[in-house]
Structure 1
Amino acid sequence: MSTPQPPTHQQAAPAPNWQAAPGTSYVSPIPITRTHLGHALASEWTKIKSVRSTMWTLGVFLLLVVGVGLLVAVNTTTEDYTEVPYTIPAFFGLILGQICLITLGVLVVSSEYGTGMIRTTFTASPQRYRVLTAKLIIFFVVAFAVSAFAIGLVGLFTSSLHDGESGTPWGRSVLMGALYVSLLGVLALAVGSMLRHSAGAITTMLGVVLVPAILPAFLMLSDSMRTIGEKMMEYNAPNALARIFELDTDSGTGGSQLALLAGVTAAAIAGAYALLEKRDV
């Protein structure tokens, strides 16, 4: 028969500084930090700079805008810029390059739905509106910075080839041109959020850009549809950029076209926010 051992006295270990989740009785071993928009912005910035689609689309965009712009610039003379800005060569590259920003805008949101990673994103940040806001802000800043850089680089190169004194200041065309194509990309992001399908959203945006540029030629064959065709011709993307780059100053400087795009983009963003909260993932 064993002899009972006297109880040993040990000092109790200090309790860890755990925090209870607000409104619950569960005590988490992880310190709780309230999240805010800054966390979502950091997350979206990490995503957009680390995926290959960003490098490819922006790389092709720069190749088109800068490459085509430089090719056009070397085939111009100083007399060509007496009444137009030195950024005119960038216009020809933007006609194609805008498709790259549209594609990237769609992929920023639709790729997460395609892979199912959006569930992880919304689990980490249940405030869905915050996630979409962060995507919109990060994409717009990246698209605008890259666009302004490309247009400005073409303008500087063209200016260096000639006497450097054009009849028109070209800073305005850099800002407005970059703003226009960036808003097209933001519109594509909103459409991608609503459709949640990459191919469908890209096809829809291509229709938004290409159909108004092609359809007026057929509408203007009919007298009853001529007015619609003329308005569509006036506000389509190629003609809007032409006015911004002052190729067609008789019809305005692109302000009304930019305002229309901003209004359509704002409506699409509002629709994206509304559908985001109503549908499951």
Structure 2
Amino acid sequence: MTAPAQMPPPPPAPGYASPIPVVRTHLGHALASEWTKIKSVRSTVWTLVLMFVITVGIGLLFAVALASDDYVGWPLLAGGFFGVMLGQLCIMTLGVLVISSEYGTGMMRTTLTACPHRGRVLMAKTVVFFSLAFVMTLVATTLTSLIHSSLLGDQDIPHYAAQDPYMEGSIENGELVATAGHWMGATVGASLYVSLLGVLGLALGALLRHSAGAITTLIGLVMLPLIAAMFMVGESMETVREKLIEYSLLNGLASLYRLPMEGDDTATGWPLLGMLAGITVAALIGAYARLTSTDA
């Protein structure tokens, strides 16, 4: 008998081909992802709205109160400092929550699975948050400055006011004015200051991975030098007290509005803003090192 003929093996089943094209990911994808996350969280909207209301609202109240006086003795846009001083707390808190909330919920594991390049994740979060914070703060500070300019620009200026170092460049032909430098400090400078504080909070959130701890640490960095200076009495502590106030972060913001708390009466605040930028960059480098050397 002859052996039965061998049947040919069946052809292999075709593999699954995804209709979604496979592309090489880049920073743009990470930026789009972070933008989607930050705009879809309800707390982001409420925090930014609260910052705007506090900054503009307190600025308006100060402008209305100062408009009733014949002469205030402050630069034209200086009253906006008090609204920004309180409104910055919202940006500081939001900066921490942008990254620490993902650690708290475990979402960071998903984020790093989708984008294994951890440095890219940190850069995307920083760029998106800084851009959003800067734009929103710039709108708020510009509106506040316009309010002060319209309500206080027609004040009667006494003759002795020209000798006041605080008023250097603020009086022209007997009228209270704001130079281009004043406008730049009260709008762009103040917005950079607040946005950098928010990014510093983001870096602290990445370092500590705990929302309450990072927020407390950031507020301490802002307020502790001034609080410590208040309790340094006596001549032996005078030099330390003056330096703590002069190089405090709040003095940097006040100097941008031409209201320095200590040091040169004509300080513009830009050098202290540069110091804040350096501190923020150092914190981001530390956050990158922590993010790339430890598990999420």
- Please give the TM-score of this superposition, normalised by the length of structure 2: 0.81
Q: Could you say which residue in structure 2 is the equivalent of 1:84?
A: 75
Deviation of 1:161 after TM superposition, in Å, equals 2.5
- What SS class does the counterpart of residue 219 from structure 1 fall into? coil
Letter in 2 for 1:231: K
Q: Could you say which residue in structure 1 is the equivalent of 2:271?
A: 256
1:148 and 2:138 aligned? yes
Rate the CA distance shift 1:80–1:258 in 2: closer, same or farther, 3 A. Answer: farther
1:103 and 2:113 aligned? no
CA distance in 2, matches of 1:81, 1:166: 10
Candidates 158, 165, 170, aligned match of 2:148: 158
Matches for 1:101-250 after TM superposition, within 5 Å: 101-163=91-153, 166-169=176-179, 170-172=182-184, 173-221=186-234, 223=236, 225-248=237-260, 250=265
Q: Is the 8 A contact 1:85 1:246 kept in 2?
A: no
CA distance in 2, matches of 1:37, 1:95: 34
Q: Could you say which residue in structure 2 is the equivalent of 1:40?
A: 30
CA distance in 2, matches of 1:30, 1:131: 23
Letter in 2 for 1:216: A
Deviation of 1:228 after TM superposition, in Å, equals 2.5
Letter in 1 for 2:291: L
CA distance in 1, matches of 2:113, 2:176: 55
Deviation per residue, 1:25-77 (Å, 9 max, x gap)? xxx77532100000011111111111012112111111110110001111223
Percent identity (aligned): 51
Q: Is the 8 A contact 2:75 2:178 kept in 1?
A: yes
Q: Where in structure 1 are there 5+ consecutive unaligned residues?
A: 1-11, 19-27
Letter in 2 for 1:105: G
Q: What do you get for the CA RMSD once the two structures are aligned?
A: 2.5
Q: Could you say which residue in structure 2 is the equivalent of 1:50?
A: 40
Misfit runs of 4+, over 4 Å: 14-18, 78-83, 162-165
Q: Is the 8 A contact 1:82 1:168 kept in 2?
A: no
- What SS class does the counterpart of residue 250 from structure 1 fall into? coil
Deviation of 1:82 after TM superposition, in Å, equals 8.0
- What SS class does the counterpart of residue 84 from structure 1 fall into? coil
CA distance in 1, matches of 2:195, 2:80: 15
Q: Is the 8 A contact 2:76 2:149 kept in 1?
A: no
CA distance in 1, matches of 2:84, 2:291: 31
Q: Where in structure 2 are there 5+ consecutive unaligned residues?
A: 1-10, 155-174
CA distance in 1, matches of 2:294, 2:16: 39
Deviation of 1:180 after TM superposition, in Å, equals 0.7
- What SS class does the counterpart of residue 35 from structure 1 fall into? coil
Greater shift after overlay, 169-178 or 42-51?
Answer: 169-178
1:93 and 2:83 aligned? yes
CA distance in 1, matches of 2:266, 2:149: 26
Rate the CA distance shift 1:43–1:64 in 2: closer, same or farther, 3 A. Answer: same
Q: Is the 8 A contact 2:59 2:144 kept in 1?
A: yes
Rate the CA distance shift 1:46–1:80 in 2: closer, same or farther, 3 A. Answer: farther
